[in-house]
Structure 1
Amino acid sequence: MTREAGTPGPDLVVRARRALVDGVLRPATVVVRGGVVHEIRSDDAPGPTSGGADPARVDVPDDAVLLPGAVDSHVHVNEPGRSRWEGFWSATEAAARGGVTTIVDMPLNSVPATTTPGALRYKRAAAAHRLHVDTGFWGGAVPESLGHLERMWDLGVYGFKCFLADSGVPEFPALDRNELAAAAREIAGFGGLLLVHAEDPDVLAAAPHPPSRRFADFVASRPDAAETSAIATLIETVRDTGVRAHLLHLSSARALDMIAAARDEGLPLTVETCPHYLVLDVDHLPDGAAEFKCCPPIRDTGNQDALWDALVAGVIDCVVSDHSPSTLERKRAGGGDLQQAWGGIAGLQVGVVAVADAARRRGIGIEAVSAWTAQAPARVAGLHAKGSIAVGNDADLVVWAPDRALTVDVARLAHRNPTSAWAGRTFTGSVTRTLLRGRTVFDADLPDDAQVPPPAGLRLNRRGRDGVAWPEPGVEESRRDNLGA
């Protein structure tokens, strides 16, 4: 490679015998300039001429693989307002350690919820200088925000989340069927994206809810019919309004046929599932262990097998964490009564590793896992410079050691409260280095206190190129933000 006089040389050259480029593992040299992939060469091509200082260089070990950074589009950071549950610093450090280079933050369980322009500015300010990975934001569709959603879209949120059943927090009420239709029409009008937590409140209300430590009883209280009924409503709404919709955290495989039919019909519906549904099953969960409680719930092994089949067939698009932590006190409420404990799994740091290990056991390669955890979530969210190693994309890269074992020590996880559904499990495969726009943000082979450098992540804005920082609010704007204006 040659360059003209006065043209800046590369910042970084990354060489790997196995790099995932265009869906195939092959030898590659990735040349990075200004945090962006400038060129991808075959590994035996001539090296760059520096014309000055030589670029930094990363040589990926021969037994490792270079992957694109994962994109987790379903993360509850909880800051501001519930930062004892989680926060931007701790959540994004966990992401970097888990090979996730971009997250999109959910509009709850922060206080205020991200349902107004003022709340978005407040959250944006709270995230400043605290991000180890790049971070975008979803907005919220609640009854009070209907008719005003385009203002938040213009401020750069990536879409709007709603619940059809109780969200678990009072500041984020659910939409009824008519409100869902109104939100869909409004969002379709400006070309936005609607995200839906699909459980039918009437089905949930009719199900038994006895105080119980038994996971079988908890699953019975959130039956498959709650999902299938709500998903049928969502599909009808998409058909009637034309809104682009994304189905969150699919748990029940019984909805797969109707989802496949809707997609065959050409409806603009995408679907995600989560690592806990793909790796854990209700028959092997210890009763009373609330770290495994989530809504919708973990179901049986036959259900799990069907979810894997749907991923391979392309009926499910992506796998994201639905990282939803709380304080230990809130998670253990009720002393093991699963009806009282907080329903959320803290899995951001371990999700990709857990799915890769389970995929390997099923004979599925890391190429597919990366497509589900990086490329597809980026596509769904509209993060066009993320999710793949390609010229023009951000140089978000992960060194993956496929044979390196990882035993999850909950005390060494970066998220704020030391509880996890993955505690004590050993996986084959591990993230050893994470680079964000060409800058190392995690290196497992450094001493513990040097593995993660100071924050380098940016707040992402849908309106501009991914990676462009939000402007800092002025004094008057900050005052309005704190009032929730």
Structure 2
Amino acid sequence: MSRVDLVIKGGTIVRSDAVFKGNIAVKDGVIVAITDEAFVPASEECIDATGQYVMTGVIEPHLHLRDPSKNEREDFTSGTMACAAGGITTIVEHPVSTPSVHSATTLRNRIEAVQHKSLIDFGFYGGAGYDNLDLMLEMAEAGIMGFKTFLPASPPGREQEFIGLNAKDDGFLYQILEIAAKTDLPALFHLEDNTLLQLFEGRVRAQGRKDPMAHIDSRPEIAEIVATAKLLAMAQDTGAKVQLVHMSTDRGLELAKFYRKQGVSISIESCPQYLLLSKEDMEAAGPFAKMNPPLRSKETQRKLWNYVHDGTIDMIVTDHSPFLVSEKEIGYEDIFKAPPGHPGLETLLPLMLNEVANGRLTWQQLSSLLAENVARIYRMDQKGRIDIGKDADFVLIDMKQEWKVDVSQMYTRSKGTFKLFDGWNIKGKPVKTILRGKVIMENGEVIGKPGEGRFIRPTPKNHA
């Protein structure tokens, strides 16, 4: 073998099908060889990963960075620095912004606005709503990874951020699915039935309640379950590929299992907050724990893990939603005035490493949930797995490190709203993040530069 650019030697390589010791050779940002421990290829640079685990870089397909509309909350530089710190090398951003990504033009404008800011590789979704059905096909041709649609109504005062993102009613929902089916891209849905949300919020408000737990009671599990049942019946009828985002109920997931057996193409996300927290945490954190869908009961949280273990849940994502402390704090007086969402880019991998350490996840499951399944579902053929010909995206992990989550050390601009996992004890830490063969984070310090990230789009279906 001729001399290569980089060798990562002596680490324990993690893939969905195997965990083994070996060396990885990289040239021109691509993996060119995986060798056993005995053979170390000649290289310009060598990273000794002895005693560490080497996993493909995390792919985060559900986050909101706000750029270029709400940069005081987050922008592509601060957000992708946070990603690099947390072992994330590729993201797919949701279209909520001002303006939202709802056309080929707004997509191109978003790419132009952020490509010089991103430290890691990035893609985008396009919104699909009642008001931009005629623009969906052009967005698919322009390079979106999929479509995003909300079944709940837009939050009051944020209508510009949600142009082209609301289904509005069942008739439009069916049409969105019909068009999405023509593109063969996944159509992603926030699943809470709007009519039921109006009913239950109306009841809570009629009682004069504004306390944090009023938010929990205004968005009960039945709203997610009904929305899921409706969507999956329509997906079966239209042949669309659908993704159920941030699922929080076991009954919704049981419906998905049923429709999968009927041949419906379904992919499914959940988040650390639904797997590790419960509605009792909202009593302590108040508006800083407000999110949609809301935190559920401890019993529901426990049941969600069954769907992680049996493979129903394909990916664990953050739904990173940055806000200002002042925006959240108004929720102490009236929970309905605080915006929903919580940051999470720097804790996604560490929290899941902790679950590996305590035996609730295997290394193979971790690689699938945080990268390999994501790359497969979104047709990122160059990403998501340590294999010859793939991009040399890695995160090196030291499982001997035991540490405490410290919000003051975070790169995200929204660290002031990070209340839910602050102070948690973690076993296992990402110590090096590598993007296409270049180190961008080392021992917690982000050393990558804005502009090094590349825009990515789905690999064409006929790609050999």
TM range (shorter): over 0.9
Q: Please say if 1:419 is aligned against 2:412.
A: no
1:183 aligns to 2:180 (yes or no): no
Give the Å deviation of 1:362: 4.4
Deviations 1:125-172, CA, capped at 9 Å, x for gaps: 111221111111111112221022111111110111000112423121
Partner of residue 74 from structure 1, selected from 62, 85, 100 = 62
- How many residues are matched? 448
Match of 2:458 in 1: 462
Amino acid at match of 1:416: R
1:433, CA displacement in angstroms? Answer: 0.5
Instruction: Quote the residue 1:16 is aligned against.
Output: 10
The equivalent position to 1:329 in structure 2, one of 326, 329, 332, is 326
Consecutive unaligned residues of structure 2, counting only runs of 5 or more, are none
Q: Name the stretch that deviates more: 210-219 or 289-298.
A: 210-219
Equivalence for 2:287: 290
Q: For structure 1, list consecutive stretches of 5 or more residues without a partner in the other structure.
A: 4-8, 466-485
Query: What is the RMSD of the two structures over their aligned residues, measured on CA atoms?
Result: 1.8
How far the C-alpha of 1:245 sits from its partner, in A, is 0.6
Q: Secondary structure at the match of 2:337?
A: coil
Q: Does the CA contact (< 8 Å) of 1:354 and 1:427 recur in 2? A: yes
Aligned equivalents of 2:193 and 2:449: distance in 1?
Answer: 44
**Residues 287 and 331 in structure 2, CA contact (< 8 A), matched pair in contact too:** no
Matches within 5 A, 1:264-303: 264-287=261-284, 289-303=286-300
Superimposed CA distance per residue, residues 405-437 of structure 1 (whole angstroms, 9 cap, x where no aligned partner) = 232221221111222122222211111100001
Aligned positions of 1:167-246 closer than 5 A: 167-168=154-155, 169-171=158-160, 172=162, 173-175=165-167, 176-207=169-200, 208-210=203-205, 212=209, 214-246=211-243
Q: Distance in 2 between matches of 1:16 and 1:213?
A: 56
**What letter is aligned with 1:183?**
I
**Closer, same or farther: CA 21–239 of 1 in aligned 2, 3 Å:** closer
Secondary structure in 2 aligned to 1:332? helix
- 1: CA distance between counterparts of 2:325 and 2:104? 32
Deviations 1:327-353 (A, max 9, x none): 222222233532221100101111121
Q: Is the 8 A contact 2:13 2:53 kept in 1?
A: yes
1:429 aligns with 2:416: no
Aligned residue number for residue 155 of structure 1: 142
Task: State the secondary structure of the residue aligned to 1:101.
Answer: strand
Distance of 2:177 and 2:189 partners within structure 1: 11
1:357 aligned residue (349, 354, 357): 354
Q: How much does 1:370 deviate?
A: 2.1
With the length of structure 1 as denominator, give the TM-score of the two structures: 0.88
Which region of structure 1 is more displaced relative to structure 2, 297-306 or 152-161?
297-306
Q: Structure 1 444/464 Cα, relative in aligned 2: closer, same or farther at 3 Å?
A: farther
Contact map agreement 2:247 2:253 (CA 8 A) in 1? no
1:389 matched to 2:372? The reply is no
Tell me the SS of whatever aligns to 2:134.
coil
- Aligned residue type for 1:195: L
Instruction: Determine the C-alpha separation between the residues in 2 that align with 1:201 and 1:160.
Output: 19
Which of the residues 122, 129, 136 maps onto 2:116? 129
Instruction: Check conservation: 2:10, 2:37, Cα contact below 8 A.
Output: yes
- For residues 51-79 of structure 1, the C-alpha deviation after alignment (integer angstroms, 9 at most, x for no partner) is xxx421111131x2111111000010111
Q: % of aligned pairs identical?
A: 28
**More helix as a share of residues:** 2
Q: Does 2:108 correspond to 1:115? A: no
Q: In the TM superposition, what is the alpha-carbon distance from 1:359 to its structure 2 partner?
A: 4.5
- 1:177 maps to amino acid: D
CA contact (8 A) 1:15 1:59 kept: yes
User: What is the CA–CA distance in structure 2 between the aligned matches of 1:215 and 1:134, rounded to whole Å?
Assistant: 37
Given that residues 212 and 287 in structure 2 are in contact (C-alpha distance below 8 angstroms), is that contact kept between their aligned partners in structure 1?
A: no
Aligned partner of 1:323: which letter?
H
Equivalent of residue 453 in structure 1, options 436, 445, 448: 448
Q: Could you tell me how far 1:11 is from its partner in structure 2?
A: 0.9
Report the Cα offset of residue 242 of structure 1. Answer: 0.0
TM-score, normalising length: structure 2: 0.92
Q: Distance in 1 between matches of 2:426 and 2:286?
A: 21
> Structure 1: how far apart are the matches of 2:398 and 2:345?
19
Look up the equivalent residue of 1:462 and give its one-letter code. P
Residue of structure 2 in register with 1:409 after alignment: 406
Residue 31 of structure 2 corresponds to 37
Residue 471 of structure 1 is matched in structure 2 by none
Shift, 1:82, TM fit: 1.4
